[in-house]
Amino acid sequence: FLDDIDEVREADWFQRYLEGDAVEFYVEGSGTYAIANIDLISHEIYFSKADSLANLDPTIFLCYQEEYPESSDLLRAAIEPYIEKFNRRARLPITLVESHRLSNGPVRLKSNLMRHIRRSLLFIADATPILETNGDLPLLVPNPAVCVELGYALCNKRPEQLIVAQMERGDLPGQFPFDIAAQHKLEFSNKSGLQKTLPKLLDAKLQRFNLTS
């Protein structure tokens, strides 16, 4: 694991460790452990048992898109009342944080936005397609910024912290490009369907954090 010192020094998780961020690794069957200390010279790494809320902010991050605003508007309209209701029984209130689409420039991988994604309890991506590729089996293409932020979340968050939402579009019948496990994917076609399924999914995702009394 630590044999190639040069590779470790270039690793994203090691850079975050040097910046003072707590870096956690999930050990299947054992739980989450945070790096306590690293000695690259002697090739030793020490872990401590991590609390489930350690180095996380009480936020739900919504990664939205503007090309097909109906889907993101419906997600926002379902998340906001859920949070309001959840906070009535929560020991620690949660808030909604969103992406910013202030310009058409590229997404900066080292920015406060990515830090918000990394530190959020849950990450919800609106991967509703905005176009499809040509071909016999066309692929659905989400917003490029959503793809970048979702890719970052996939690398930096646990699967149980992710929700990939997709609104069905009759005008774009292609194949979804991401292979996401069913328990982390949310498909909906209208407001009423979303309001039935999203709260249950959020309850299940937030349960592990023990935020309610």
At residue 105, the pLDDT reads 61
Same domain (yes/no): 23, 67: no
Give the C-alpha separation, 175 to 6, whole Å. Answer: 40
Does one domain contain both 17 and 100? no
The count of domains in the chain is: 2
Host H or E run for residue 186:
strand 185-188
16 is in which domain, residue-wise?
A: 5-49
Residue 165 shares a structural domain with residue 81: yes
Question: For residue 34, what are the contacts with CB-CB under 8 A and spacing of at least 6?
Answer: 22, 23, 24, 25, 47, 48, 49, 50, 54, 55
Is residue 140 within 8 A of residue 128, CB to CB? The reply is no
Residues 69 and 106 in one domain: yes
Select from 13, 30, 49 the last residue of a domain.
49
14 and 108, same domain (yes or no): no
Residue 111: predicted pLDDT: 75
pLDDT at 51: 57
84 & 102 share domain: yes
Question: Within this chain, do residues 39 and 69 fall inside the same structural domain, yes or no?
Answer: no
* Shared-domain flag, residues 65 and 102: yes
- The per-residue pLDDT for 190 is 95
Centroid of chain to Cα 73:
18
* pLDDT score for 165: 96
| Residues 162 and 195 reside in one and the same domain | yes
Give yes or no: residues 38 and 64 share one domain: no
CATH label of the domain that carries residue 204 = 3.40.50
Residue 58's pLDDT is 93
Query: CA 104 to CA 156: how far, in whole Å?
Result: 24
Query: Do both 69 and 130 map to the same domain?
Result: yes
- If the chain, 213 residues long, is cut into consecutive pieces of 10 residues, what is the mean pLDDT of each piece? 77 83 69 80 80 80 95 97 96 92 64 90 96 86 92 89 94 82 92 95 88 80
If asked whether residues 175 and 75 sit together in one domain, one would say yes
In this prediction, residue 100 carries a pLDDT of 81
